Amino acid sequence: MKIILYILIFILSAININSQNWITTGGNLQRNGLSKITGPNNVISALWTVSSPTSSAWGNSIYSYGDKFVTSRIILSPYTGKIELRNINTGALIWEKMINTSSRMYAVGFTEDAVYAHDYMTGILYALNISDGSVKWSIASDMFPGNTGLMFACDGDPIDRGRRINKNTGIARWTNNYIIPVGPDGGFCVFGNTYYHWTGSIVTPKKLIAIDINTGATRYTSADLPGDGDQENDLCIGPDGTIYICRDGGALYAFRDNGTAFVQLWSRTPGYVVKGVGKDGSLYASNINDPSGFANSNIYRLDPANGNLLDSAQIRTPLAYMSCGADSTVIVCTGEAGNGRYVAFSPDLQTVKWQLNVPYNYYSGSNLGQNGIFIAAGSGTEIKAYKTNYNVKPVSDFKANVNVAYMNLPVNFFDQSSYAPSTWLWLFPGANTTSSTQQNPAGITYSTPGVYPVTLITSNTFGSDTLIRTCYITILNETGLSQTGNEIPDKFSLSQNYPNPFNPVTRFKFSLPENGIIHFKIFDMNGKEIETIVNGELKAGNYEYEWNASEYSSGVYFYTLTSEKFKETKKMLLVK
């Protein structure tokens, strides 16, 4: 009973704030800048300073996951860009990536599954392996990578504009071809199982649209929202689900999604663009949408109940991006050229806690990462990090060696929490071992197929924190895949199916020299995935699988075996 009550106390803080990780533009899926991390209390002395081998024309989006962060380095002559993955605690370079010498690579997201990067030269989205930057998969994507950032489904599937992509294969699970004002267009948000964005063309009315994340179906749209006909502003969603949406040349609106329709709560004119939310629910907005204030834009604090103006910064501070940490400090990235700054404000914007001059911090954002580390980057080669000096309670975070597994295969969990927790309580509903007090519990197994949550509660002398990931582990049924013999092969291999041609049954054989996450997929001649045979961890060994293609028509098919170190595809012919 004590454990259950403990969870209930913290469950609200665990749902909509993405732990310590800054995975996309705005930090979380609501793009509201809220974080459980306490950022630096001053910028007198840097935690570390590094010099990138590439002198960048401007600062680019910085995303962090655990003890790593990723950013882009852009050169203008010729216009090219590369991705850099670095250690967040030391700044040390782990790897850098360009697909080819003309690539314009921008980081657009970072999760446990991959570093996501978009090549603005070719219009291709890449999922890169965190270990070495190799390509997991790629898919054509129409997006502006500088400041858009991906969204993510509960299971980690990336979502770009109007499309959910399988995180393991790079194949679209669904696509919704709704109309956008000007493409590419970012600013979409996610809350719960719903994706929100603008819809409408230059010559048709603009509306707010809701799309079901699981099916891709349009749920409903708002009434017409008057304004200009061109590109629109980003959306922002509060922790209670209120959607703040400002029409270009129009009003700022607050909407509530009641599950069947949008309900307008209020509007205000001129329409300030909401960029983030404070711990008390206050809205932080820019007046860049007001023609009278465009050249002198500033940050304003608005009342979430009605949009009324509460405060503004006494020293003009353009609001491009922001974060709000656990201590309610509002850190603003101005996104300016020579006057580029990061400014830390008190919640009422009346006190400047610190200021850091970083020219051309155009897209850098106001990231907060593991252990309170804040990273600053602008033009040139220099990247700096600053860290809080406060003693604070932990921020729970974890990862697993695999998120998809077959029944009774072990799953290992790893703590990566911030601020030195001293105790750990893990809860594994549905597992054969339902709880653990180890820091890194290993060998957790599940006997029933399904999707399972995982909870981690950490504590130290300053307090406690809870993280609940609601659809973190997927357990698959046994597939008829059989391991043959006890020998461990010395290399990866994928054999030609036999018989081939076949009708309608054939057998596959493959060998794994080591344990690992394995994907075995079957595709039709157009490259569409039609069946998943394996999508999880397998032990080293030799395997066989018998496939019955009775429900498919004659033709050419392909099958692919993929691991972190191996990928091979073979062709087969079904003749009926």
Q: Are residues 103 and 145 in the same domain?
A: yes
Last residue of a domain, which of 361, 387, 413? Answer: 387
Q: Are residues 287 and 412 in the same domain?
A: no
Last residue of a domain, which of 415, 441, 476? Answer: 476
DSSP at 502: B
For residue range 259-302, what is the model confidence (pLDDT) as tens digits? Answer: 999 999 999 998 899 999 999 999 999 987 665 554 578 999 99
Q: Which are the contacts of 260, defined by CB distance < 8 A and separation ≥ 6?
A: 220
Residue 2 has pLDDT above 90, yes or no: no
Structural domain includes residue 419: yes
CATH of the domain at 140: 2.130.10.10
Residues 476, 358: Cα–Cα separation, whole Å: 49
Structural domain includes residue 201: yes
For residue range 374-412, what is the model confidence (pLDDT) as tens digits? Answer: 999 999 999 999 999 999 999 999 999 888 887 888 899
Total structural domains in the chain?
Answer: 3
Q: Are residues 428 and 502 in the same domain?
A: no
Q: Are residues 436 and 450 in the same domain?
A: yes
Q: Are residues 360 and 495 in the same domain?
A: no
Task: Decide: 426 and 455 in contact? Cβ < 8 Å.
Answer: yes
Q: What percent of the chain has pLDDT over 70?
A: 94
Residues 289, 273: Cα–Cα separation, whole Å: 7
Structural domain includes residue 393: no
* 3-class DSSP assignment, residue 5: helix
Residues 417, 112: Cα–Cα separation, whole Å: 14
CATH of the domain at 542: 2.60.40.1930
In this predicted structure, what is the pLDDT of residue 289?
63
Q: Which of 334, 350, 330 is nearest to 342 (CA)?
A: 334
For residue range 129-150, what is the model confidence (pLDDT) as tens digits? Answer: 999 999 988 999 988 776 788 9
DSSP at 34: B
Q: Are residues 254 and 402 in the same domain?
A: no
Q: Are residues 498 and 467 in the same domain?
A: no
Q: Are residues 458 and 503 in the same domain?
A: no
Structural domain includes residue 414: yes
Q: Which of 329, 458, 437, 454 is nearest to 394 (CA)?
A: 458
Structural domain includes residue 392: no
Q: Are residues 354 and 427 in the same domain?
A: no
For residue range 503-552, what is the model confidence (pLDDT) as tens digits? Answer: 999 999 999 999 888 989 999 998 888 888 887 788 899 999 989 898 88
Residues 377, 173: Cα–Cα separation, whole Å: 36
* 3-class DSSP assignment, residue 125: strand
Residue numbers of the domain that contains 185: 2-387
Last residue of a domain, which of 387, 406, 439? Answer: 387
- C-alpha angle 224-229-231 in degrees, rounded to nearest 5: 105
What distance lies between CA 121 and its chain's CA centroid? 22
- Predicted TM-score (pTM) of the model is 0.85
Q: Are residues 112 and 243 in the same domain?
A: yes
Q: Which of 143, 31, 15 is nearest to 471 (CA)?
A: 15
Q: Are residues 345 and 456 in the same domain?
A: no
Structural domain includes residue 453: yes
Q: Are residues 309 and 352 in the same domain?
A: yes
In this predicted structure, what is the pLDDT of residue 544?
93
The string over 170-203, giving b where at least 16 C-beta atoms fall within 10 Å of a residue's C-beta and e elsewhere, is: bebbbebebebbeebbbbbbbbeebbbbbbbeee
CATH of the domain at 424: 2.60.40.10
Task: Decide: 120 and 81 in contact? Cβ < 8 Å.
Answer: yes
Residues 378, 358: Cα–Cα separation, whole Å: 6
* 3-class DSSP assignment, residue 257: strand
Q: How many other CB atoms are found less than 10 A from the CB of residue 493?
A: 15
Confidence of residue 555 (pLDDT cuts 50, 70, 90): very high
In this predicted structure, what is the pLDDT of residue 13?
35
SS (H, E, C) 173-206: EEECCCCCCCCCCCCCEEECCEEEEEECCCCCCE
Task: Decide: 35 and 372 in contact? Cβ < 8 Å.
Answer: no
Write down the mean pLDDT value for the chain.
91
Q: Which residues on adjacent β-strands are paired with residue 380?
A: 56
